Structure 1
Amino acid sequence: MLLHGLLFDGAMWDEQVGPLAELGRVVVIDAPGHGKSEVPPPFSLDDHARALVDALDALGIFKALLIGLSWGGMIAMRAALDNPMRIVALGLLDTSAETEGRVQRIKNRVLNGMYRNVGMPPALFATQVAPLLFGQKTLRERPELVERAYTHLSGFPRLGVSRAVKAVSVERPSILDKVRAISCPTLILCGREDTATPPARSEAIANRVPRATLKYIDNAGHSSTIEQPAAVTAALVPFVREHLANAQPSA
């Protein structure tokens, strides 16, 4: 199951779906307020993790291998903590188990209020949001990715996105001490140029999760599946191949 990051939808996994589908069933879900999902009521990350497990039930999936980027990784960790028998392995990309710093929370709250009321002007996206979503190399050499992300975001319902931003970037509690209890194999990937969840956040998770492996993605920021899709796929495929069998139903 592939879980996308904030301000994107399941399309951020487009380059990975094909190679992973050669290994087994792939499920891609649009998170609340994003893509094809409906505008949610106000929710917390714990609410979202419980809803994810409900989705597994609805799909007839008892065991799953979860791969999440940023927001998706935050949900994947919480689901693994609450349902250790159902989550057989985790892929955590450009994510954090910590709360945001106080100054960043205040900034996020202000930007979110502005966005909810009047939308996201292109200049504001370019100066305040894009540098969090993409690495410097991408910003310099691939401006079309920034433009595509802005266009994509513009199609989402503002209220839904605003509620998600509040849950993820303003009110997110730390689970850093709790992740020590994650017992399944865990692959952690992080773009070396990630400023939204810097490598230190990934290193903090890797230092606590007993069966974690940490790898870095060169020339990528926070949106590594889009910025360096081949490198991400090359890291994910052998990990999924090794552990997916544990998610298959018994004969």
Structure 2
Amino acid sequence: MELQVNGARTFCYTGGKEFDPAKPTVVFIHGVLNDHSVWILQTRYFAHHGFNVLAPDLPGHCRSAGEPPRSVEEGADFILKLLDAAGVQQAALVGHSFGSLIALEAAARAPERISKLALVGTAFPMKVSPALLESSLSQPEKAIAMVNVFSLSMLAPPPSALGPGTWLYGGSRALMRRVLASNKEVNVFHRGFAACDSYAGGEEAMARVQCPVLFLLGRNDAMTPPKAAQALQAKARHAKTVVVEAGHQLMTEAPDATLFALKDFLGP
């Protein structure tokens, strides 16, 4: 599905189903140097069980045109305008890593439009080491290798994620290279990391969120350890926390546990 957002073509994966604005809608927001495909199992499930699914490629990433978000706030504005373009008055948001901060900020800016908020692999502050930030700009291949070491806690995913024999490290590196190469004008790797690193409004944003919140965290996450979500958890009014056996890439390392937690939170 393609929508015009901020005058640019935006691709949204809909889980293999036609979009119907009359149904409840869930928006899945990917993280840095990812695209809609990281949500493949979860989006297809919800699309085939009574929900609309919108899993966009963020602007300037892969199949979406436009200027990549320079900040979490720009990303949040994009998500709210995406809802406008789709004709959706209210939706649940599910965001991973950088996408979790975007979802949080969107829920704070328009609390009446967000029914539920799921923060996957989240942290605040989401600081990026100076070495990794610099490498993402000057030596992106080195940075991709570093991110995969810290993001993944297992070599191969369960069959329900990407199929038997899949190598998580290799698959993740290939995806990141593809996303980086999709934009010849802007280094979306460095821009995304810089946006995470500079975001300062997390606690204030959470204090303005009115909907139920799910913190879905990986026990072995070295990028955003579970304890790094405590500042947000302390500000959340109606929150639930689920910790699964995975690293940072929960959606492929623990696909079933991630799906079950989202299903329990979002409904049947």
TM-score (norm. length: structure 2) = 0.78
**What residue number does 2:212 align with?**
185
Of 147, 151, 157, 2:170 maps to 147
Shift of 1:210: 0.7
Return the offset for 1:41: 5.6
Q: 1:70, 1:94 within 8 Å by CA — same for their partners in 2?
A: yes
CA contact (8 A) 1:184 1:211 kept: yes
Indicate yes or no: 2:259 matched with 1:233.
Answer: yes
1:65-214 map, 5 Å: 65-100=92-127, 104-115=128-139, 119-121=140-142, 125-126=144-145, 128-135=146-153, 137-138=154-155, 144-156=167-179, 157=183, 159-214=186-241
Aligned position for 1:19? 45
- For residues 25 and 41 of structure 1, do their structure 2 counterparts lie closer, same or farther at Cα, with a shift above 3 Å needed? closer
Following the alignment from structure 1 to structure 2, what is the Cα–Cα distance between the partners of residues 166 and 32?
15
Look up the SS of the partner of 1:131 in the other structure.
helix
Secondary structure class of the residue paired with 2:115? strand
- CA 1:221–1:168 in structure 2 vs 1: closer, same or farther (change >3 Å)? farther
> Which 4+ stretches in 1 moved above 6 angstroms?
139-143
SS in 2 for 1:26: strand
Matching residue's letter, 2:177 = S
Rounded to whole Å, the distance in 1 between the matches of 2:151 and 2:104 is 21
1:2 Cα deviation from its structure 2 partner = 0.6
Distance across 1 between alignment mates of 2:228 and 2:91: 25
**Post-superposition CA distance 1:31-84 (Å, at most 9, x none):** 133231236266211111111111110110110100111111100000010001
Per residue, is there more helix in 1 or in 2? 1
CA RMSD across the alignment = 2.3
Listed as ranges, the gaps of 5+ residues in structure 2 are 1-26, 159-164
Q: What percentage of residue pairs aligned between the two structures are identical?
A: 27
CA distance in 1, matches of 2:157, 2:79: 36
Question: Which structure shows the bigger proportion of residues in strand conformation?
Answer: 2
Identify unmatched segments of 5+ residues in structure 1: 243-251
Displacement after TM superposition at 1:125 (Å): 3.2
Question: Amino acid of the residue matched to residue 241 of structure 1?
Answer: G
